[in-house]
A = this chain, B = another copy of it.
Amino acid sequence: MKNTVEKIASLGANQKIIDLILPLLIREELPKGYMLLREGRIERSFFFLEEGVARAFHQADGRDVTFWFGAEGEILLSLKSYFSNVPGYESIELLEKSVVYKIPDHALQNLYLSDLDMANWGRRFAEFELMRADKRYLNQQFKTAAERYEEFIRDYPELVNRVQLGHIASYLGVSQVTLSRIRAERR
């Protein structure tokens, strides 16, 4: 469970925190295409993606827009569900055969409310994701689709060949046709 432990540690955890979290984890091996979380439900679980690739997406009027990718070491959850106990807006799909470590229900929440270091760990997790969400938004506003594609390749080099084009296109906010045109330009 190397990736999971590294992720926990990267959010500023000491050994004590790792020892608090590890006993909560339940290992699950899941197939490609598995829907880990579904939008519209209250999803109370929290996952570490130990191996595999996942995308978070949202559906409306027939369209399906990916707005988040995670590879090994990422944390997967339904933000609104987990933070506010209301139905979430995102589904999370595993794009490869994956191994996850699950923390069921709100076991973490209980730790947050009783342990200072855990509360600060949870704070840092939310802060990091917030910076990431903000950066993604600014990219969307400032950069052309071609530039965003270049940055995607830089930020997620492993994913370019593991994820199908339509998902990357919707993540970048363009149609698949446009992304194909961008790739053609590069050659």
Given known A119-B120, A120-B119, contact A65–B142 (CB-CB < 8 A): yes
Contact for A123 among B65, B112, B138, B141, CB less than 8 A: B112
Q: Which listed segment binds B: A22-30, A46-54, A126-134, A157-165?
A: A126-134
Verify if A152 is at the interface (C-beta below 8 Å from B): no
Q: Which of A131-155 contact B (CB under 8 A)?
A: 131, 133-138, 140-142
- Count this chain's copies in the assembly: 2
Contact B112 A120 (CB under 8 A): yes
Residues of chain B contacted by A65 (CB below 8 angstroms): 138, 141-142
Distance to closest chain B CB from A169 (angstroms): 11
Distance to closest chain B CB from A161 (angstroms): 24
Distance to closest chain B CB from A124 (angstroms): 8
Contact for A58 among B112, B131, B136, B142, CB less than 8 A: B142
Q: How many positions in chain A have a CB within 8 Å of any CB in the partner chain?
A: 37
Distance to closest chain B CB from A61 (angstroms): 8
Q: With A and B bound together, what is the CA distance between A142 and B122 in angstroms?
A: 30
Q: With A and B bound together, what is the CA distance between A60 and B114 in angstroms?
A: 44
Distance to closest chain B CB from A70 (angstroms): 14
Q: With A and B bound together, what is the CA distance between A140 and B137 in angstroms?
A: 9
Residues of chain B contacted by A129 (CB below 8 angstroms): 130
Nearest residue, chain B, Cβ from A118: B119
Contact B173 A141 (CB under 8 A): yes
Instruction: Indicate the member of A63, A112, A114, A120 with the most B CB atoms within 10 Å.
Output: A120
Nearest residue, chain B, Cβ from A135: B89
Verify if A42 is at the interface (C-beta below 8 Å from B): no
Residues of chain B contacted by A7 (CB below 8 angstroms): none
Q: With A and B bound together, what is the CA distance between A173 and B139 in angstroms?
A: 12
Q: Which listed segment binds B: A79-87, A96-104, A175-183?
A: A79-87
Nearest residue, chain B, Cβ from A133: B133
